[in-house]
């Protein structure tokens, strides 16, 4: 069993609490959604769009896939909590949900001041 304070063990204490079962299941769904190159590209395109949103009609031409296939990939990203959508007339517009991407970043970032946190470029002058 992991000790929160490191007492009685050979390893230092934990800096943050590990994921509980529900958190792990939620994040596994997110990582599964991100495990496809098309979905990664779609997420990147949405995140990099000026104005914060993009129409599915603007996403489809970037891929050699049908519009229904692109819509399916977008649906999986939405179900994972990474994006949201809004229908306007004929088209659906998608936007990134920063809450989930911020959460992922927090989980994947080591706390400052711990071994292994120094940048590979920390010794270079700016």
pLDDT value for 13: 61
pLDDT value for 23: 82
Phi and psi, residue 27, nearest 5°: -70, -30
CB 95 within 8 A of CB 83: yes
pLDDT value for 84: 96
* Position 117 confidence tier, pLDDT thresholds 50, 70, 90: very low
**pLDDT single digits (tens) 77-90:** 999 999 999 999 99
Q: Cα separation of 14 and 111, whole Å?
A: 11
CB 106 within 8 A of CB 16: no
Contacts of 3 (CB under 8 A, 6+ apart): 9, 13, 14
Contacts of 103 (CB under 8 A, 6+ apart): none
- Domains of the chain, start order: 21-102 (1.10.10.10)
pLDDT for residue 93 is more than 90? yes
């Amino acid at each position: 069993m992991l000790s929160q304070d490191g007492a009685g063990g050979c390893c230092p204490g934990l800096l943050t609490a590990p994921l509980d079962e529900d958190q792990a299941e939620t994040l596994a769904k997110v990582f599964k959604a991100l495990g496809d190159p098309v979905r990664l590209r779609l997420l990147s395109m949405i995140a990099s769009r000026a104005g914060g949103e993009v129409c599915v009609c603007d996403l489809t031409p970037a891929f050699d896939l049908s519009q229904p296939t692109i819509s399916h990939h977008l649906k999986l990203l939405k179900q994972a909590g990474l994006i949201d959508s809004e229908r306007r007339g004929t088209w659906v517009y998608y936007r990134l949900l920063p809450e989930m991407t911020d959460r992922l970043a927090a989980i994947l970032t080591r706390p400052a001041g711990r071994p292994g946190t120094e940048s590979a470029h920390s010794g270079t002058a700016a």
